[in-house]
Amino acid sequence: MKKASFMSEESQKRYDAFWECDVHDRFLTYIAVGGGKIEKPQEISDEEFVTYKRDNIDFRLREAHARNNGARFYMDGFPRQFINYGPGSLAAYIGGNYQYAPNTVWFDRDPIIADWENPPRVAFDEESPLWKKTVEFTDAVLKDGSMYASITDIGGTVDVVASLRGTQELLFDLYDYPEEVKAMTDTVRACWKQAYTKLADRVAQYQDGYTSWMPIWCRQRYSPIQCDFSAMLSPDMFKEFVLPDLIDLTEFLDKSIYHLDGPGEIPHLDHLLSIPRLNAIQWTVGEGKGKLSDECWFDMYDKIQAAGKGLVLFVEDPAGAEKLMRHLSPRGVFMSVGRCDDQAARELTAFAEKLGTK
């Protein structure tokens, strides 16, 4: 069976170069302009719609068609569907509880680890209702064949442990039950690998590469990795409880990106840059902390690039992207640019092509 592909060979070369912390001919840039929507069925109440829009696969597929068919893709953009069942959905695949909300899915509302004296059995369960929905939606998009299907947001291993235990409780556990926490992290990571492999094997049958919740293409198996929980840890505790987990995942995957979520995680940057097989850092400013293109972040970007790591930036607008392109080396940089109309997209394309490889 011929595998589906939704981008040009030149764009594929740019993505290949990004993963090698290099540049093909210009900045690697994802732009999607426009995109249609479909309305909520009139017979479905707002309360019912919270579940309906997640579980009704036909609705989600029609929604994906409307968005992708109505979009114009510039530079290195491509049609895709994020198989979204909430950040850290692994928690529900291994025995945890979940709760749909209007704009997310909660996995930490009813933790299942009450204590470490008698913890529950944690194992990957293919009969989990949320796993079955994840597989059903993934298969529907793959068989539709008009867009890339992502691998779902499995989550960060330690973040999933926090969902199963409770964030505050887990913070105390690092002092009171450190070995139990490490053992559970190892168990959850083994489940992470099982879930990822099963999804990646499905994707590999139908399309010529992989995407994730990030709109980034790779011909090899990759995933964002993260630990939002680490914003509450010292660098020494990060080194003890988080770094070994991240190193193991980078060795399991072909390629990887760390999701650096806000200023609270900056103290861990040196540890992250020390991970040999980590390919890139994705920086998120955080609510109310300014823009990615603010000059206060430039020293951090320079440090990341000087360490030989790539940089992933979801830039707010074309002006910010142009500002960043003027400052950064294009080597190992991916930008997704928001708030673009067709004229702005064409102008940014021309600007990037004029810059070339600097």
Tell me the sheet residues that pair with 28.
334
Q: Are residues 42 and 110 in the same domain?
A: yes
| Residue 247 and residue 98 share a domain | yes
Of the candidates 205, 233, 252, which is a domain's last residue?
252
Q: Is 206 inside a domain boundary?
A: yes
Task: Count CA within 13 A, CB hemisphere, residue 70.
Answer: 11
- CATH code: domain of residue 110: 3.20.20.210
**Cβ atoms 157, 249 nearer than 8 A:** yes
**Do residues 207 and 108 both lie within one domain?**
yes
3-state class of 238 per DSSP?
A: helix
Residue 160, both tokens? 């999933």
Asked whether residue 15 falls in the same domain as residue 92, the answer is no
Residues 345 and 34: beta-carbon distance below 8 Å? no
Do 91 and 224 have their domain in common? yes
Which structural domain range is residue 273 located in? 11-31+254-358
Per-residue pLDDT of the chain (358 residues; tens, 9 = 90+): 789 999 999 999 999 999 999 999 999 999 999 999 999 999 999 999 999 999 999 999 999 999 999 999 999 999 999 999 999 999 999 999 999 999 999 999 999 999 999 999 999 999 999 999 999 999 999 999 999 999 999 999 999 999 999 999 999 999 999 999 999 999 999 999 999 999 999 999 999 999 999 999 999 999 999 999 999 999 999 999 999 999 999 999 999 999 999 999 999 999 999 999 999 999 999 888 899 999 999 999 999 999 999 999 999 999 999 999 999 999 999 999 999 999 999 999 999 999 999 8
How far apart CA 190 and CA 175 sit, in angstroms, is 24
